[in-house]
Amino acid sequence: KAGVTQTPRYLIKTRGQQVTLSCSPISGHRSVSWYQQTPGQGLQFLFEYFSETQRNKGNFPGRFSGRQFSNSRSEMNVSTLELGDSALYLCASSLGIAGAHYNEQFFGPGTRLTVL
C-alpha cells in the first residue's frame, strides 16, 4: 500500500507570495492533518480535515487555510508569506478521525518551504 505523498518536496518563495501544498493520503484514509515543524517548536498542529470538513484547527493566523477533496486528497494554502513561515510542512493521514479510538497517524515526508 502506498504511503502518504506530499508535493512538492521543496519550495522557495519570496515574502508576500502565496503557496499551495498538496497531500495524498493512504488509500482508504479519510482524515488528513497538517503540521508545521520548525526548530525549537516541534510539530505545531495546523488543522485536520475529515470527509471534506475541517474538524479541528490549531492556533495559526487566517493566512493558513486548507481544504479536502472528495477523494480525501488535501491542499494547504499560505497567503502573504512571511519569513517566519519557513518550515517543514507535514501532513498525516489516518483511517478515521485522528486520535479517536487511537487511529494511528501516518506521516508523509513533508514539504520544505523556504521564504526569502
Interface ranges with another protein (CB under 8 A): 4, 33, 35, 40-45, 48, 56, 58, 90, 92, 97-100, 102, 104-110
Q: Which is nearer to another protein, 58 or 79 (CB)?
A: 58
**What's phi and psi for 101, nearest 5 deg?**
50, 30
Smallest separation, CB 69 to another protein (Å): 21
Sign of CA dihedral 46, 48, 54, 55: negative
Smallest separation, CB 112 to another protein (Å): 9
Surface-to-core class of residue 20, CB atoms within 10 Å of its CB (0-12 exposed, 13-18 middle, 19+ buried): middle
Smallest separation, CB 18 to another protein (Å): 24
